[in-house]
Amino acid sequence: MASTMAQGTESTSEAASHDQENTPNSDLDDYRRLLQHRQSRRDIQRRYRAKLHARSVSFERNVERLKDEVARLDEEYRRLTANSLSSTTPWNLMAEYFSLFRDGLTTMTPEVMVKNGSGIDAMLEIWRSISMRRDDLHVRLERLENGPGGSFIATTKCYFTITRSMLLQEFPHVVMNSDEGRPLLVVEKLLGQQIALLSEVRFDWDESTGRMTAVTGRYFKAEMLMPLLKILSNLEDVALVLG
pLDDT digits (tens, 9 = 90+) for 13-45: 554 555 555 566 777 888 888 888 888 888 888
* 110 vs 155: which has the higher pLDDT: 155
Concatenated DSSP letters of 40-89: HHHHHHHHHHHHHHHHHHHHHHHHHHHHHHHHHHHHHHHT--HHHHHT--
Q: Is residue 154 within 8 Å of residue 201, measured between CB atoms?
A: yes
Q: Which residue has the higher pLDDT, 152 or 111?
A: 152
- Look over the chain and give the mean of its residue pLDDT values, rounded to a whole number: 72
Q: Which amino acid makes up residue 189? A: K
Residue 79 has pLDDT above 50, yes or no: yes
Which has the higher per-residue pLDDT, 207 or 43? 43
Residues whose CB falls within 8 Å of the CB of residue 93, separated by 6 or more in sequence, listed in order = 211, 212
Per-residue pLDDT of 99-127, as tens digits, reads 655 544 433 445 554 455 555 566 566 66
Is the predicted pLDDT of residue 132 greater than 80, yes or no? no
| DSSP-assigned letters across all residues of 119-155 | SHHHHHHHHHHHHHHEEEEEEEEEEEEE-GGG-EEEE
Contact 192, 161 (CB under 8 A): yes
Pick from 126, 138, 163, 150: nearest CA to 206: 150
Are 188 and 147 in contact by the 8 Å Cβ rule? The answer is no
Residue scoring higher pLDDT (192 or 76): 192
Q: Please, what's the b/e burial string for 78-99 (b: 16 or more CB within 10 A of its CB; e: otherwise)?
A: eeeeeeeeeeeebeebbeebbe
- The answer on pLDDT for 81 being more than 50 is no
Reduced to 3 states (helix: H, G, I; strand: E, B; else coil), residue 173 is: helix
| Residue 212: its H or E element | strand 211-219
Question: Average pLDDT of 221-239?
Answer: 86
pLDDT value for 29? 80
pTM value > 0.85? no
Of residues 201, 200, 204, 199, the one with CA closest to residue 111: 204
Name the residue with higher pLDDT: 91 or 81: 91
